[in-house]
Copies of this chain bind each other. A is one copy, B any other.
Amino acid sequence: MRTPLCDEFGIEYPIFAFTPSEHVAAAVSRAGGLGVLGCVRFNDTEELERVLTWLDENTDGKPYGVDIVMPMKIPTEGTSVDLGAMIPEEHKKFVDETLLKLGVPPLPEGEGREGVLGWLHSVARSHLDVALQHRPVLIANALGSPPVDVIEKCHEHGIKVAALAGAAKHALSHVRNGVDIIVAQGYEAGGHTGEVASMVLQPDIVDAVGPDVPVLGAGGIGSGRQIAASLALGSQGAWMGSVWLGTTEYQQMGAANSEAWTTAFTRATSSDTVRTRVYTGKPARLLKTKWTEAWNEEGAPAPLPMPLQNLLVAEAHNRISAANDPDVISMPIGQIVGRMNEVRPVADVVADLVAEFEATVERLNAIRG
CB of A83 within 8 Å of the partner chain: no
CB of A293 within 8 Å of the partner chain: no
CB of A335 within 8 Å of the partner chain: yes
How many A residues, CB 8 Å from partner? 50
CB of A232 within 8 Å of the partner chain: yes
Taking CB atoms, residues of chain B closer than 8 Å to A167 are: 269-271
CB of A336 within 8 Å of the partner chain: yes
Min Cβ gap A369→B in Å is 6
Q: Which A residues between 326 and 369 are near B, CB-CB below 8 angstroms? A: 334-336, 338-339, 357-358, 360-361, 363-365, 367-369
A174-200 vs B, CB cutoff 8 Å, 1 = contact: the mask equals 000000000000111000001111111
Contact between chains at B221 and A199 (CB < 8 Å): yes
Contact between chains at B361 and A357 (CB < 8 Å): no
Min Cβ gap A246→B in Å is 15
Taking CB atoms, residues of chain B closer than 8 Å to A335 are: 196-197, 200
Min Cβ gap A67→B in Å is 21
CB of A231 within 8 Å of the partner chain: yes
Min Cβ gap A12→B in Å is 12
Taking CB atoms, residues of chain B closer than 8 Å to A269 are: 167-169
How long is the Cα–Cα vector from A65 to B319 in the complex, in angstroms? 56
Interface centre among A168, A232, A334 (most CB of B within 10 A): A232
Contact between chains at A197 and B220 (CB < 8 Å): yes
How long is the Cα–Cα vector from A249 to B201 in the complex, in angstroms? 28
Contact between chains at B226 and A199 (CB < 8 Å): yes
Contact between chains at A197 and B197 (CB < 8 Å): yes
A1-26 vs B, CB cutoff 8 Å, 1 = contact: the mask equals 11100000000000000000000000
CB of A228 within 8 Å of the partner chain: yes
- For A223, give the chain B residue with the smallest CB separation: B203
Contact between chains at B188 and A196 (CB < 8 Å): yes
Contact between chains at A367 and B197 (CB < 8 Å): no
Taking CB atoms, residues of chain B closer than 8 Å to A223 are: 203
Q: Which residues of A contact B (CB under 8 A)?
A: 1-3, 167-169, 186-188, 194-201, 203-204, 219-221, 223, 225-226, 228-234, 269-271, 334-336, 338-339, 357-358, 360-361, 363-365, 367-369
List 6 A-B pairs, minimum CB-CB distance, nearest first: A199-B220, A197-B197, A229-B229, A188-B197, A228-B232, A200-B335
8 contacts between A and B (CB under 8 A): A1-B369, A168-B338, A187-B187, A199-B229, A200-B338, A204-B270, A204-B339, A232-B364
